[in-house]
Amino acid sequence: MKIKKIGREKWFWALVLGTVVLAAGCSGFHETDEEAAAGPSYRYALVTCADWAGQNSLAAIQLKPAAAPFLWMDWLVNLGSDPFLDPVVRTKSLTSVQPALVLEREYFSATGLGEVAVLNPANRFQVEATYPVNDGVNPANPNDLLVLSADKAYVTRWDWLYNDILILNPDTGATSGTIDFTGLGANADGLPRLYKMLYLQGRVWVLMQNINTFFTEYGPGSLGVVNPQSDVIEDIIALDLKNPADFGYDGELNRLYVAATGDWFDPSGAGVEAVNPASRISLGVLIQGSDLGGFLTHMAFQDAGHAYLSVTNSDFISGDQVIQVNPAAGTIGKTLYAYPGLYVSDLALDRQQDLLLIADNTGSRVVVIDLKSGLIVDTVETLVPPVSIAIWEGEDKL
């Protein structure tokens, strides 16, 4: 397969330069020798950003150790000028090396049909190569990428003309087949609308949103179970809630918790539902979207007693909220972040420092909550509205 090579970009917006200078002068942008030498590894929050007008970037935010509990943006990477790039960053991997990959969803793009960009951590996450995850004719709308080994990864292709998981080499893009879900969706058209994936207990669990062709029917959601050794669908688990959007695993109780958006009309179809991965059956709905006031869009799962949800208010005017819940008990805690007009585009956990990172798309910033106190401890301006966040860890300072 021909891979499009991209040289290192030699650009910075004037606004970025001004921000860098200000940060260097006022916030200790460059570490001291002691800080640079501290700790065996370095971690970054990688944040893809897009304004739907042609500015697309990746912000690399250094996650400081507990001794210096504040963050700053080290640099921006140019991801191109496609207004419909809609980039999503992924670092999920079962290998010892944590890759950095960006899904370029390009759903309404005039120039692209869906690609993966390979980022080089040794070169400050510059784009090293891109490869297509489409058939060359129709938009694929890739929604998730899970690296299973050094030479194998899965990509879910959400568009109704695909209905599958593409099997490929995450470094080269060379494909080796697909896993076909055609006809397995719980709607009249049989569309599965494959979304996010999770590797658990030797299987890949896939959220099936089950939305028909013209978005007029949202069937009850499902969980697909795939054997990654044989690339065979083993099971489809029926859910009670609609349009599942995120999930997390509780090892203590051996439960999967699924956060569902619902159909965007009735919040009773949204909420949090538990699944037993051993018996592969739903254990029922634990929290209703109507009790949260709207539609769940993201979940950062910490443990059985702590998960964090972004909820779009059902009036579509008040803005989003980030709410703490106890998924095992099915109880709702306090609201951690909210303001009129807020749109939260992603959530991520920094487990080492007990921090919740909120992609505040409206404010073009990442907001940092200390989960011990529940208070905002930092904000990092991304200059372009953030779309997604993933945590990356390496052995060396970049």
pLDDT at residue number 186: 97
pLDDT at residue number 288: 98
Q: Is the pLDDT of residue 10 over 80?
A: no
Task: Calculate the alpha carbon distances from 365 to 7, 91, 268, 306, 386 in Å.
Answer: 28, 21, 31, 24, 7
What does the chain come to in residues? 398
pLDDT at residue number 31: 33
Q: Which residue type is seen at 32?
A: T
- Average pLDDT in the 356-369 region? 97
Q: Percent of the chain, pLDDT > 70?
A: 87
Structure tokens at 131: 């490869």
Q: Percent of the chain, pLDDT > 90?
A: 79
pLDDT at residue number 312: 98
**Distance between CA atoms of residues 34 and 255, nearest Å:** 43
| pLDDT tens-digit map of 138-152 | 999 999 999 999 999
pLDDT at residue number 27: 32
Confidence of residue 70 (pLDDT cuts 50, 70, 90): low
Q: Which residue type is seen at 8?
A: R
pLDDT at residue number 101: 96
Q: Is the pLDDT of residue 241 over 80?
A: yes
Would you say the pTM of this structure is higher than 0.85? yes
Please report, to the nearest 10 degrees, the dihedral formed by the alpha carbons of residues 303, 209, 316, 364 taken in order: 60
Q: Is the pLDDT of residue 33 over 50?
A: no
**Which residue pairs from 372-377 have beta carbons closer than 8 angstroms and sit at least 24 positions apart in sequence?**
374/324, 374/334, 374/336, 376/337, 377/69, 377/70
- Average pLDDT in the 326-345 region? 97
Which of 59-68, 168-177, 243-252 shows the lowest per-residue confidence on average (mean pLDDT)? 59-68
Give burial (CB, 10 Å; 0-12/13-18/19+) of 264.
middle
Selected residue with higher pLDDT from 33 and 316: 316
Task: Calculate the alpha carbon distances from 306 to 249, 288, 299, 355, 372 in Å.
Answer: 12, 16, 11, 13, 11
**β-bridge partners, 5:** 129
**Distance between CA atoms of residues 244 and 223, nearest Å:** 9
pLDDT at residue number 208: 98
Least Cα distance to 292 among 251, 236, 334, 238 occurs for 334
Instruction: Order across the sheet with 255-260: list the strands.
Output: 244-250, 255-260, 271-276, 281-288
**Which residue pairs from 35-40 have beta carbons closer than 8 angstroms and sit at least 24 positions apart in sequence?**
35/68, 36/397, 38/65, 38/67, 39/65, 40/395
Q: Is the pLDDT of residue 36 over 60?
A: no
Give the count of beta carbons closer than 10 Å to the beta carbon of residue 381.
Answer: 15
pLDDT at residue number 122: 86
**Distance between CA atoms of residues 300 and 352, nearest Å:** 14
Query: E strand or H helix at 241, and its extent?
Result: strand 232-242
| pLDDT tens-digit map of 256-276 | 999 999 999 999 999 999 999
**Distance between CA atoms of residues 107 and 385, nearest Å:** 18
**Cβ-contact 254, 277 below 8 angstroms:** yes
**Distance between CA atoms of residues 258 and 77, nearest Å:** 33
- Average pLDDT in the 182-202 region? 97
- Average pLDDT in the 306-323 region? 97
| pLDDT tens-digit map of 204-238 | 999 999 999 999 999 999 999 999 999 999 999 99
- Average pLDDT in the 47-69 region? 86
| pLDDT tens-digit map of 338-354 | 999 999 999 999 998 89
Least Cα distance to 58 among 117, 144, 105, 132 occurs for 117
pLDDT at residue number 7: 35
Confidence of residue 393 (pLDDT cuts 50, 70, 90): confident
pLDDT at residue number 20: 35
Q: Where are the beta strands (DSSP E) in 243-381?
A: 244-250, 255-260, 271-276, 281-288, 294-303, 306-313, 320-326, 331-338, 344-350, 355-360, 365-370, 375-381
Confidence of residue 395 (pLDDT cuts 50, 70, 90): low
- Average pLDDT in the 172-193 region? 97
